[in-house]
Structure 1
């Protein structure tokens, strides 16, 4: 049987070695140890990683993937399908809910666009402009791209409803996301404090990866805001969070140099 060290398996599977170590800690990918203490994997690890990747592409949390792996190891294909079915039904319901919310939000944007394409009113913009809500109108429901979580009422003084200080990722996925940020931001040449957040100075070639991870973060933690500015071969990446989210900001993005 072929054996692989962690760097060899990572290269073959197209993942980072730190991801393999995280999967081991999460109980997804066991590893043997050589006499020198190196992690060793067999050919079955490649198939196991394919199974994990398939589960993540379906949006399954790591806890559910771990449950499925146990069934996959000990049972038949029929058993795996039986266990997977309710998981997929839940994901479909969540996706349909998000699609409904997105459709409603898209219609709201179209209505606003129709209003501003009409003849402008003289003077300042007021509720008569159409796209502004009258004070007696109900506040529109903010768009949520993930299942709602219970939160306290933190409506601001201006009547708007800020994004709730809550993350829709479960514990294992939060740990994985934090690890992804730490790996990426290790490339930072400098990190400075700014009002309400942090500023990272990164090599320009990281811009695509930073943007993709920031977009993913917005899907589950909408209270974070990100700004990317690329110039002179450097990426300036700003992260802002409300005061109440300062501990989460530090956990994910660290502290200034």
Structure 2
């Protein structure tokens, strides 16, 4: 599945496949549910081992540095073992296609 990076993304072109692979790994291992809220807002339920929240915080912070149009909010959730959290992703209206592509990747991740 392809993913078009918008011109507003300042991540160097050579680094983009690596960042996308990081998201794909997160999606394949931790995303359990993807819920579109609006065209500009998607909510994801993630579960995983201890350290999941820190991994998500690190990845989303780095993504926000190069793609400032993304707004990520992490809310802890209840899990039996390990960690669980909600990840809300919000974009301005002109980036709904990017968010839609990201949500589709999260809902149908490619396993390594």
Q: TM-score, normalised by structure 1?
A: 0.33
- Stretches of structure 1 lacking an aligned partner (at least 5 in a row): 1-164
Q: Cα gap change, 1:191/1:215 in structure 2, threshold over 3 Å: closer, same or farther?
A: same
The structure with the largest alpha-carbon Rg is 1
Partner of 2:3: none
CA distance in 1, matches of 2:57, 2:25: 15
Q: Distance between the aligned counterparts of 1:241 and 1:222, measured in 2?
A: 9
Quote how far apart the aligned CAs of 1:171 are. Answer: 2.3
Give 1:174 shift.
1.6
- 1:254 maps to 2:103: yes
Residue 168 of structure 1: how far off its partner (Å): 0.6
Structure 1 residue runs of 4+, over 3 Å off?
A: none
Greater fraction of residues in helix: 1
Q: 2:37 & 2:99 partners in 1: Cα distance?
A: 12
The number of residues matched between the two structures is 92
Counterpart pick for 2:8 among 166, 180, 190: 166
Please name the residue that 2:33 is paired with: 190
Matched residue SS, 1:223: coil
In the other structure, the counterpart of 1:229 is 75
Q: Residues 209-236 of structure 1: CA distance to partner in whole angstroms, max 9, x if unpaired?
A: 0000000011111110001010212210
Corresponding residue for 1:241? 91
Give CA deviations for 1:82-114 in whole Å, capped at 9, x if unaligned.
xxxxxxxxxxxxxxxxxxxxxxxxxxxxxxxxx
Unaligned residue ranges in structure 2 (runs of 5+): 1-6, 108-112
Partner of 1:202: 46
Cα offset for 1:242? 1.3
Q: Pick 1 or 2: higher relative contact order, CA cutoff 8 A, min separation 6.
A: 2
Structure-2 separation of matches of 1:197 and 1:173: 26
Q: By percentage of residues, which structure has more strand?
A: 2
